[in-house]
A and B are shown apart, each in its own frame.
Chain A
Amino acid sequence: MHDQQLKQLIEAALFAADAPLSVDQLKELLVAQQISKAKIQTTLTELQQDYQNRGVQLQQVASGYRFQTRTELGSILAGLWQEKPPKYSQALLETLALIAYRQPITRGDIEEIRGVSVSSQIMKSLQERGWVKVVGQREVPGRPQLYATTAEFLDYFNVKDLAELPPIPASENAQPATATESTTAETATDQRVH
Chain B
Amino acid sequence: MSETPERTPKLIPEQHALPLGFVRGEPVLERPEDLYIPPDALELILEAFSGPMDLLLYLIRRHKVEIVDLPILPITQQYMTYVDMMKELKLELAADYLVMAAMLTEIKSRLLLPKPPQVEDEEVDPRAELVRRLREYEAIREGAGYLEAQPQQERDFCVVQANSDARDYVKQLPPEVSLEDLVLAFGKVMQQAQLQEHHHIHRERLSTRARMSAILDLLTQQSRVRFSEVFDTSEGKAGVVVSFLAILELSKEALIEITQIDAFSELHISKRQDQQSRVTEHA
Residues of A within 8 A of B132 (CB): 172
Residues in A whose Cβ lies below 8 Å from that of B148: 88, 93
Bound CA–CA A155/B56 (angstroms): 34
Q: Is A98 an interface residue (CB 8 A)?
A: yes
| Known interface pairs A88-B148, A183-B129; A158-B157 also in contact (CB < 8 Å) | yes
Residue from B100, B135, B156, B157 in contact with A115 in the complex, judged by beta carbons closer than 8 Å: B100
Interface flag for A74 (CB, 8 Å):
yes
- A163 CB, nearest partner CB in chain B, Å: 13
Q: Is the CB of B128 within 8 A of A178?
A: yes
Smallest distance from the beta carbon of B86 to chain A beta carbons, Å? 13
**Residue interface mask A47-76, B partner, CB < 8 A = 1:** 000000000100000000011111111100
**Bound complex: CA A169 to CA B148 (Å):** 17
Contact with B along A81-125 (1 / 0, CB 8 A): 000011011110110111011100000000011111100000000
Could you say which residues of chain B place their CB within 8 Å of the CB of A180? 120, 122, 124
Quick check: A165 and B50 within 8 Å, CB to CB?
no
**Which of B141, B146, B161 contacts A18 (CB under 8 A)?**
B161
The interface centre, meaning the residue of A168, A178, A179 with most chain B CB atoms within 10 A of its CB, is A168
Task: Report the interface size class on chain B.
Answer: 35 or more
Contact A155 B153 (CB under 8 A): yes
Contact A97 B140, beta carbon cutoff 8 Å: yes
Contact partner of B150 (CB less than 8 A), chosen from A18, A159, A178, is A159
Of the stretches A9-17, A27-35, A133-141, the one at the interface is: A9-17
Any A CB within 8 A of the CB of B193: no
Number of interface residues of A (CB under 8 A): 57
Docked complex Cα distance between A101 and B61 (Å): 24
Which residues of chain A are near B160, meaning CB under 8 Å?
Answer: 15, 56, 66-69
B100 touches A156 (CB 8 A): no
Would you give the shortest CB distance from A177 to chain B, in whole angstroms?
Answer: 9
Chain B, Cβ-Cβ closest to A69 = B157
- Find out whether the CB atom of B50 lies under 8 angstroms from the CB atom of A86: no
Contacting residues of chain A (156-178) with chain B, CB-CB under 8 angstroms: 156-159, 165-166, 168-173, 178
Which residues of chain B are near A78, meaning CB under 8 Å? Answer: 155
B124 and A94 form a contact (CB under 8 A):
no
Q: Is the CB of B161 within 8 A of A94?
A: no
**Contacts A115-B100, A116-B96; A85 near B50 (Cβ below 8 A):** no
Say how far B40's CB is from chain A's closest CB, in angstroms: 18
Q: A157's contact among B99, B135, B151, by CB below 8 Å, is which? A: B151
- Complex formed: what's the CA distance from A77 to B151 in Å? 14
Question: Does A185 lie at the interface of the complex (its beta carbon under 8 Å from any beta carbon of B)?
Answer: yes
Are B51 and A165 in contact (CB-based, < 8 A)? no
Q: Which residue in chain A gives the minimum CB-CB distance to B51?
A: A116
List residues of chain A with CB within 8 A of the CB of B96.
Answer: 115-117
Q: 4 smallest A-B Cβ distances: which pairs?
A: A97-B143, A116-B51, A74-B156, A15-B162
B158 contacts the other chain (Cβ, under 8 Å)? yes
Residues of B within 8 A of A85 (CB): 152, 154-155
A3 proximal to B (CB < 8 A): no
User: Is A128 among interface residues, defined by CB-CB distance under 8 A?
Assistant: no
B144-178 Cβ-contact flags toward A at 8 Å (1 or 0) = 11111011111111111110100000000000000
Residues of A within 8 A of B51 (CB): 91, 94, 114-116
Would A67 and B158 be within 8 Å (CB), given that A171-B136, A178-B128 are in contact? no
